[in-house]
Amino acid sequence: MEQERRQAYWRKNIGLIRNLLIIWALVSYVAAIFLANPFYNIRFFGIPLSFWFAQQGSMLVFVILIFYYSWRMDRLDEEYDVQEVRYTGSAPKSKEVSG
């Protein structure tokens, strides 16, 4: 891969990581901690929304971000032709060594 394409690939990769970390921080810190009082009066499945974000929402969003990152990186790898080689055949047979 030529240098300019490699740099463009990594720029997009780092940008994606940065954006996903911002989303994670907003959900984990802002929604669960800093907005805990305003979100306390909003009910989500019968519990305060701030409690839900602190206990369930942050983890759920984090797992979703992981799957999104994986899916998006597969598309980016294909775009820059750096995808992993996937072996679909059977493993080569080993030769027995007689000694």
Per-residue pLDDT tens for 32-88?
Answer: 788 888 888 999 889 888 888 888 888 999 999 999 999 999 999 999 988 777 667
Q: Is the pLDDT of residue 99 over 60?
A: no
Which residues make Cβ contacts (< 8 Å) with residue 20, sequence separation at least 6?
65, 68, 69
What is the domain partition of the chain in residue ranges? 1-80
What is residue 45's predicted lDDT score, i.e. its pLDDT? 87
Gap between the Cα atoms of 69 and 75, Å rounded:
10
Q: What token pair was written down for 19? A: 């954006």
Q: Residue 72: name the closest of 83, 87, 61 by CA.
A: 83
What is the mean pLDDT of the segment spanning 12-24?
96
Report residue 97's pLDDT band, with 50, 70 and 90 as the boundaries: low
What is residue 3's predicted lDDT score, i.e. its pLDDT? 87
